[in-house]
A and B are shown apart, each in its own frame.
Chain A
C-alpha cells in the first residue's frame, strides 16, 4: 500500500493552537505544541496503541469522560486540556496505582536514572505514598534468557515486550500469564526467550523489569556517555549508540533512524561489542617466525609486509571483507592498483565465480531503479529473491513484517531454503540450491508472459505453476513493486546472465524508470558490499562503475592463481577466506602457497595457520570512516572508544604500507581519504563528513547523482541458464549462513551460547528413505570430480518445509562448515559410529 497522503489540521492543546498531521495520536500531536503528555504503554514503533496503562488521560472538550491521549487521533478543531484538576487527579491516581505493587528498588535497579517510571512519578505523581498494604512478590531476578533478566515485581504490565514479540518480531514467544494483579510476562512453557531480536525488549521496557544480563550492574546513567556510530556486522548498517564507561563499551543501544533501522537492533549488533574485550583479540602486529606468530614492533611488521607485497615477482591478490570501510577499501585499492600495479582484488564476501560486469552493475544500481528501505514497507508487493533477510540483513526482516502487518503489503518469497518469511508470504516458491539464475529466467518468462516458463522452471527445480502464480501476483499487485534480492543470486557460474534476467524482470515491472516507491534493493553479502563496489574494489569495475582497462581476477581465480604460483602475495583486509568462502579446501591450499598479509581482529583458522604478517584491526566501536548502505545511504562511523594500546587505525596502516612500498601516501587523516573518494567517484562528488552527519545521506538524493554512469540497458537476450543438478539418488547441497555464524558472536561471552552447530536440514520424506530421524547424527559426503570424498558430521534437522531432494548445511562454522564440501550433490547417511 503506498504512503497515504497526510493533511494538516489545527487543534488546541492547553490553550495553544497547534498544527498537526491528521490522524496523529494526541500524545504525539501535543508534543508539536510543546505539551508533554506522560505515557507508559504507548510506543509508536510497536504499531497500534493498546491503551493499557491509562497514564495519558486528558480532557477533550465535548467528551464527558477523560480520554487516553495515546489512542485518540486528533481531529480538526479539537480542544484538549492536559492540566485541569480532573486530569491532575487522574494522573496522580494512575501513578499511585502503578506504584501499588512496584518495589522500592531504584538504588539497585539498572533502570534507575533513566527510568520513565521514576520520571513520571516525580513529574506527575502525588509525591507521597499512602500504601501500607504488602506488595505482590515474585522470585527475582529470573533469567528470561541468557541475555535478559526479568524482575516481575517491577513490571507495570504495559504489554510493550509482549507486543514486540507478537507484532513486530513475530516470534510469538512472550505472553502474559494469569489475570489481574497476578499477571506476569513469560514464555508459554517457561523456555528461554531466544530470538534474533530479543534484546529490543530491554530498551522497550519503561521500567527495570527487563534488564540486560551483559550490562547488569555495569554502570549507572550518570557514569556513562553515549556515542553514536553505525553497526557494521551486516549490510543493515543499523544506527547504534555505544554506552561508554571508563573508555570501554558497556552496551549498545539503538539510535533510531527510520530510513535505516526503524529503531530496532538485532541481538548480534546489540551484544557483539563484547568480542572486543576478549583476550585472544589481536592487539599488536604479529609476524610468523619459526612457524609461530609472534608479536613484533610496528616498524618490523610494516617492513616485512612491504617486502612480501612489494617485491613479489609474480602477481598479488587482495581481498576485502564486509566490514571494510570505504576509506580502507580505497587505500587497499590504491595500494594494489595504483602503486603495485595489480588488478586482482575482490570485495564480494563469500563469492565464488566471476563478478558481474561493470555495465550491468551500473544498471542494477542506477538511482532510478533504487528502492529504499522504507519503500519495502510501503510497496504494493515485495519479492524476496534468493535471500534470507533474518540471516543476511536481520533488520530488513522486521521491515518486511511491518509492511505486511501494518500496510497490507503483499509478500512473495523465492528462495531455495525455506524462509522464515514463508508464513506471512502470499507466495512462497522454492527452487533448487544454486539455481537462482535459472529461476530468474523462469520468472522473467512468467512476468512477461512469453517464453518457456515450464522448461525454465524445471531447469531451476521449481514448480512451473508456482512461478506463473508469482509472476501474476507481481504484475497485478500494483505498480509499487520492490524486489529484495540477495547478492548470492549473482555468485553462480554465469552472473551476467542472472543480472540480465533480473534487469529484464525489473524492466517488465517498470521498476527501472524513475518511479519513487518501486525498484530493486540488493542485500549484499558483505556489510559494506555496496560501498566497496562503488569505490571500485571489484575485478570488473573501477571507481564509480567505470569499465576497467582490464578485468582482474575474481576471488576464486585469485585462489587458483596462487596455487598455480602466478600469485605469490595475498593481502587480506578484514577477511579470512578459509572461514568465509565456499571452497575451504581451495583457500587453505592458496593461503599455504602464498605469502599472506592480513588485517584482523581475531586469528581465525586460515590466519592462525598461514598468515605471515597480521596487523591488528579496530573493533566496530573504535573505527572511523564511512560506509554505504545497500540503498545508497552514506553513513559515518565514529570512534566511541580508544583503540587498544599501541594499535593503529587500519587506514593509517594501509597508508603506511603505501609509503613503505614506495608509493606516495597522501592521507594524514581518515577524512582526507573520504575526500579522495569523493573526487574519484563522480556521484559522491563533494560529499563530506559534515554533510553525512548523524543520519547519513543518500547519494541518489544529491545533485552529484546526475553523474551516475549509464549502465547496460538492453534489450537483453538471455542465455539458457545452467539447469540445477538432478539429484539422482543423492541430495542437492544448499548452503546458508546463519546470523550467528561470525567470529564476533563466537568471541562475545554473552552470545557464545548461540554459536551454531552444524546441522543438516532435510525433508522428512528424504530422511525416512535414508532411515534418518530428527536429531540424529549424520554424515554428509561429497565426491569430488577426481573421486576424492569429503565428509562432515552434522545433526539431522527435519523440516517439513524443506523441498524434497535437497539438504541444507551451514557455512561459516570453521572446520565443520559446509564449505569443506565442494560439490553440488551430496549423500547423507546416518552416522554408523554414532547410531541414534
Chain B
C-alpha cells in the first residue's frame, strides 16, 4: 500500500516557463534593476579608504594600543606599580615589577612606582580590563591599532614606549558619523 502523506503534503508552485516574450522582459527587467544599484553607487562617490596612506578613523571608545599617563602638572607617572592591571588581565600579558620611590627623585606620585612595566601586545586581547582595574587611571586603552611587527619580541611594549605619544595619531570618527 502506498504511503499516505496525510497533512504533510507540500504543494510545489512553479514559476512561468522560460522563453517567450514574458521571459525576455523578465531578463531585461532584472538586469536593469541590478544596474540601477551599480550606477547608484557610482553617483554616491567612493568610500574606499586608501590604507595605509590613509587611516581608518575609530570610535572614541575604541580599544587599541595602551597608553600610560603622567600627571600634567608634576609630570610624575600616574602608575604606582600596584600590579592590579596584571591581576585583572585575562591574557596574563602584563608584567609589573615595582620599586620604592626615592623622595628626592620621584618617579610616581605614590610610595612605589613601576620599575618595569611591560605589555605583551601579541597576547593582548584588547578587553580593556586593565584600564578598568587601574585605581589611578594610569593606563588607558588608546586608539592605535597598527601593531604588526616582524618580530614577536618587538611586540613587548615597555614602559617608555607606553608613556610616549604614539608616532602616528589615529583619526577619530566625528560625532554621529
Contact = CB atoms under 8 A, between A and B. Distances in A.
- Main SS class of interface, A: loop
Interface string B92-132: 00001011100000000011100000000000000000000
Interface in A71-121: 106-108, 112-113
Contacts of B80: 107-108
B100 A223 contact: no
Contact size range, B: 10 to 19
Interface stretch (A214-222, A383-391, A428-436, A540-548): A214-222
B29 interface: no
B87 interface: yes
Contact of A222 (B86, B110, B112): B86
Nearest to A141: B111
Contacts of A220: 82-83, 86-87
B166 interface: no
A107 B138 CA distance: 12
B131 to A, nearest CB: 15
Given A141-B111, A217-B99, A217-B112, A107 B82 contact: yes
Given A217-B98, A217-B99, A108 B111 contact: yes
B135 interface: yes
B53 to A, nearest CB: 43
A107 B110 contact: yes
Given A217-B99, A220-B87, A112 B82 contact: yes
A151 to B, nearest CB: 9
A107 B87 contact: no
A218 B83 CA distance: 11
Contacts of A218: 98
A108 to B, nearest CB: 5
A219 B96 CA distance: 9
Contacts of B84: 107
B160 to A, nearest CB: 20
A222 B111 contact: no
Contact of B87 (A106, A141, A216, A222): A222
Nearest to B111: A108
Given A223-B83, A223-B86, A216 B100 contact: yes
B59 interface: no
B135 A107 contact: yes
A222 B82 contact: no
Interface string A105-142: 01110001100000000000000000000000000010
Contacts of A106: 82, 135
Interface centre among A113, A219, A223 (most CB of B within 10 A): A223
Contact of A217 (B86, B87, B100): B100
A108 B86 contact: no
B117 to A, nearest CB: 13
Interface in A182-222: 216-220, 222
A108 B83 contact: no
Nearest to B135: A107
B145 interface: no
Interface string B48-59: 000000000000
Interface string B121-153: 000000000000001100000000000000000
B64 interface: no
Nearest to B136: A107
A108 B82 contact: yes
A108 B96 CA distance: 13
Nearest to B114: A217
Contacts of B86: 220, 222-223
A113 B86 CA distance: 13
A771 to B, nearest CB: 49
Contacts of B111: 108, 141, 217
Nearest to A105: B111
B173 to A, nearest CB: 34
A112 B81 CA distance: 13
A836 B47 CA distance: 94
Interface of B: 80-84, 86-87, 96, 98-100, 110-112, 135-136
30 contacts: A106-B82, A107-B80, A107-B82, A107-B84, A107-B110, A107-B135, A107-B136, A108-B80, A108-B82, A108-B111, A108-B112, A112-B82, A113-B87, A141-B111, A216-B100, A217-B81, A217-B98, A217-B100, A217-B111, A217-B112, A218-B98, A220-B82, A220-B83, A220-B86, A220-B87, A222-B83, A222-B86, A222-B87, A223-B83, A223-B96
Query: Which 10 A-B pairs rank lowest in CB-CB distance, beginning with the nearest?
Result: A107-B82, A220-B83, A217-B98, A222-B87, A217-B112, A108-B110, A108-B111, A107-B135, A108-B80, A108-B112
Given A107-B84, A112-B82, 6 more contacts: A107-B135, A141-B111, A217-B81, A220-B83, A222-B87, A223-B96
